[in-house]
Amino acid sequence: MVAKRKKKYSVGEGAQFMSRKAALKKLQLSLNDFRRLCIIKGIYPREPRNRKRAQKGQSGIKTLYHVKDIQFLLHEPIIWKLRDYKIFNKKVGRARAIKDFERLHRYLNNHPTLKLDHIVKERYPTFLDALRDLDDCLTLCFLFSTFPSLAHVPRDQSALCQRLTMEFLHAVIEAKALRKVFISIKGYYFQAEIKGETVTWIVPHHFSFEPQHRAEVDFKIMSTFVEFYTILLGFVNFRLYHWLNLYYPPKFNSINQNEGEKDLVDENVYVAERIAALNFPLSKTSNEVVEEDLEIDAFNNDESPEKIEELKKEAEKDKQLKTLFKGLKFFLNREVPREPLVFIIRCFGGEVSWDKSLFVGSTFDENDESITHHIVDRPSMEKHFISRYYIQPQWLFDSVNCRELLPVNKYFMGEILPPHLSPFIDKERDQQYIPPEERALLDASIEHMYKKDEENDGEGVDDDEEDEDNEEDGGENEDDEEESDNEEESQNEKKLSVTPGEVFKEVPWEKSRQERQEYRLREKLVKNKHRKLYKSMMEGKEKRAKEIWLLRKKRRLHDAEKAEDTKGKKKVAKKENGPAKKNEAATKGKKKSKIN
């Protein structure tokens, strides 16, 4: 019996993928509803191995989805709710057109509502799964919390993001879970460790919102993401507050807005309230303190004793980091960004306040003698207190990243700050440029060498000048030095003895030639299907090596220019101080002659 011939593209990649047009036809949805459904369900386009087969021989590049993903969407109850929205809009439009306002109000009061709770539980079965996927959620919610009311971003959504992000910050403060901080051009990077999972998010810099002239950003799609992320963050906050024995939802301390409608729409009032709420602790359900001192067990035979000891030291550093600012009192000047600094100081057990005449929520006054650090971001101040340090905000960030209180002399008011290095870079990274300051932080021996090189650069100027002075003096002591060297050489010749050895002639380029030959042979063993991948990897490697070389050259030129500047300044200073020194020497000689 002859086997039936299979139809073309009925098996393989041709049957596994489906175009977006076919998916819309199968689900009977509009493009906007389909995008919204895919965002909520977490379904994205796939990239096939062979695009021609996946597109069933059609040319061009199409958006392709996996057939199983579309079949998964067929059984989603949200589809029926989206269709109800479509029917609802038609009914409202018809009632508005015929001016039947009684029916219109009835439709508007009974509008369909979309609930996403079951999708959050479906996508994140456990609490740890939700924590692993919290990075993008927090970053987008913090971004939307700074938005005013836009066309596709209602004010209610921005207010909800403000509330949820504030709840999360309070949970991080109570748990003392913050580990790393960093300031960049994008905003403030924060990393917290919650239940063993690292959560990293970005808080944008607080600038007044500037409307865009062109539609460069699709706020409607971003708003759909936020619609799902607010539900997720609400679930996470609820679990965190119960874990920390806190009441949920919390009651924040805020000012009473009964002064008129102007205060309600004032952005500065919202920001001041949010920061004031950060500076006060939340009420707890019980006085039990949640402390998880995890002891590292040595039962695993795979781990070496050195690795276990290193993990124990790391855990001890984390424990000390939680109380880094305990017993310290900080006062923030008016020009300092308050929200990130208040969050950092409170996370590590410090107390913070500001001028009560400018912002609400201050806990102590500027004249308080117990203040230890005054955070200032200006070159000078008229009034000073002897009992406190006047430092720049970077000291807080660098101290947290180094896990210890750094010396304040480099961060005084008006000082040139040391480089602010990112703590999120892997120490064992390869094919990336590492600045010398960062290498000095990673390795103490490198730091010693780096400092020694700097000292040598400074001393080199003095040595050159001393050589010039010796040449001017005529080299009176050169003969004495040559005689002493000859005597030392004659003594060493008597002590040392040399035995004749066999001569071995080595070709200097033979070893490198052999290594290149072995490398080419290894390259030939790469399979044909992996050759393109290997070629792109090697091109990327060459590109990264070139970037590293260019950055090192740039740094070398910068250091050389800096050394020349210091050399010129020292020469000028020596010329100015030269006549004074000669006069002193002459006066000393006259005094000696008089005494004799």
Q: Any idea which residue has 């909800």 for tokens?
A: 160
Listed in sequence order, the DSSP H helices in 348-443 are 394-402, 436-442
Range list of H helices, 191-291: 219-243, 261-265, 267-278
Domain coverage including residue 560: 425-458+540-572
Q: What pLDDT is recorded for position 476? A: 46
Strand-pairing partners, residue 204, are 187
Q: Do 136 and 39 share a structural domain?
A: no
Same domain, 203 and 250: yes
Q: What is the pLDDT of residue 182?
A: 94
Q: Are residues 92 and 202 in the same domain?
A: no
Beta pairing partners, 183: 188
Establish if 81 belongs to a structural domain: yes
Judge whether 316 lies within some domain.
no
Of 109, 142, 164, which marks where a domain is finished?
Answer: 109
429 lies in the same domain as 340: no
Structural domain ending residue among the three candidates 394, 418, 442 = 418
Residues 248 and 333 in one domain: no
Task: Give the residue among 249, 128, 143 at the shortest CA–CA distance from 199.
Answer: 128
Q: How far apart are alpha carbons 66 and 13 in whole angstroms?
A: 10
What's the predicted TM-score (pTM) here? 0.74
Residues 6+ positions from 281 with CB-CB distance below 8 Å: 174
Q: Using CA atoms, how far apart are residues 245 and 341, in angstroms rounded to an integer?
A: 25
Q: What's the rounded Cα separation, in Å, for the pair 348 and 244?
A: 16
**Residue 390: its H or E element:** strand 389-391
Instruction: Single out the residue in 278, 294, 314 at which a domain terminates.
Output: 278
Radius of gyration (Cα) for the chain, nearest Å? 35
CA–CA gap between residue 451 and residue 437 (Å, rounded):
10
Per-residue pLDDT tens listing for the chain (596 residues): 566 778 888 888 888 999 999 999 999 999 999 999 999 999 999 998 888 888 888 888 899 999 999 999 988 888 998 889 889 999 999 999 999 999 899 999 988 888 889 999 999 999 999 999 999 999 999 999 888 777 778 888 888 998 999 999 999 999 999 999 999 999 999 999 999 899 999 999 887 667 666 667 788 888 899 999 999 999 999 999 999 988 888 887 654 444 444 444 455 666 777 777 777 777 776 655 445 555 555 445 566 777 777 778 777 877 888 888 888 999 999 889 888 999 999 999 899 998 888 888 788 888 888 999 999 998 888 888 888 899 999 999 999 998 889 999 989 988 888 888 888 877 666 677 777 777 776 665 555 555 555 555 444 444 444 444 444 444 444 455 555 555 555 555 555 667 777 777 777 788 888 888 998 899 889 998 888 899 999 999 899 899 999 999 998 998 899 889 888 888 888 877 776 666 666 676 665 565 55
Residue 7 within a domain: no
Let me know if residue 489 belongs to a domain. Answer: no
Contacts of 183 (CB under 8 A, 6+ apart): 189, 394, 397, 420
184 lies in the same domain as 69: no
Give me the sheet containing 178-183, strands edge to edge: 178-183, 187-194, 197-204
Is 84 found in the same domain as 142? no
What b/e sequence results for 465-479 when a residue is b if at least 16 CB atoms lie within 10 Å of its CB, and e otherwise? Answer: eeeeeeeeeeeeeee
- CA distances to 450, 477, 574 from 464, rounded to whole Å, are 21, 17, 12
> Is 499 part of a structural domain of the chain?
no
Q: Which residue in 358, 360, 396 sits closest to 376, CA to CA?
A: 396
User: Could you tell me which residues come within 8 angstroms of residue 201 by beta carbon, excluding any fewer than 6 positions away?
Assistant: 134, 135, 138, 139, 142, 189, 190
- Residues 57, 144, single domain; the answer is no
Whether 528 is in a domain gets the answer: no
Q: Are residues 400 and 358 in the same domain?
A: yes
Position 19 scores a pLDDT of 92
Apex CA 229: angle with CA 199 and CA 267, to 5°? 90
Q: What is the CATH number of the domain that holds 403?
A: 3.40.50.10190
Alpha helices (H) in 55-201, listed in sequence order: 67-74, 78-97, 101-109, 117-123, 127-132, 134-144, 155-175
**In a shared domain, residues 268 and 187:** yes
Asked if 162 contacts 96 with a C-beta cutoff of 8 angstroms, the reply is no
**3-state SS of the chain: helix, strand, coil percent to 5?**
55, 5, 35
Query: Facing residues of 65 across strands?
Result: 18
Residues 157 and 86 in one domain: no
Indicate if 154 and 55 belong to the same structural domain: no
- 76, part of any domain: yes
Residue 296 lies in a domain: no
Q: Which residue has the tokens 């950092």?
A: 344
Quick one: tokens of 95?
């009632």
Work out how many domains the chain is built from and give that number.
4
The number of CA neighbours under 13 Å toward the Cβ of 90 is: 6
